Structure 1
Amino acid sequence: MGLLSEVLLLPLAPVRGSMWVLDQVVAEAERLYYDPSAVQAELRALEAKLDAGEIDEETFDRREDELLDRLQAINARQGTGT
């Protein structure tokens, strides 16, 4: 039965391969999104933009709040609670 099912499912191999690739891309995106060092780097870059006058205070505050919320979610997800 194993060989027969493999033969019958062979036309679906490209779909299964595509799904595996998509799963890998999503996993990597989540790893990067939930990486605290990436969020901290974004915070530093945001502060540099504010200091350089590239963004105004309101934009800085809004984006900083988003990043700090993300950092808090990362800490909660990792169980540090900080």
Structure 2
Amino acid sequence: NGATEDGRSKLKSPSATLSTAEVISVVISGLAMAAHFGDGVMRAPDLAASLAGAIVKDPVHDRVVWQEYLETVVRERDEWQEFYRACRELA
């Protein structure tokens, strides 16, 4: 619905939604990164690049939406800090 879980912030939506195939591709890519370049356990950095690539389809509009989501939602969640750092390193 374009709002944070607590309802305090309204979020912009990306230009397109992720298809089931894109979600599967993000996970498979993360697993491949973990298997070939990591210790075999999928971690936040393994997902960050492919997830950002799947979300940011329009390089102008969607990049702003993705950055806003990272700063408004992800940064505020203690258990998501590794994912937040991984995404920020890519930005």
Of structures 1 and 2, the one scoring higher in RCO (CA 8 A, sep 6+) is: 2
Shorter-chain TM-score range: under 0.3
Find the structure with the greater CA-based Rg.
1
Name the TM-score, length of structure 1 as normaliser.
0.28
Larger fraction in helix = 1
Name the TM-score, length of structure 2 as normaliser.
0.26
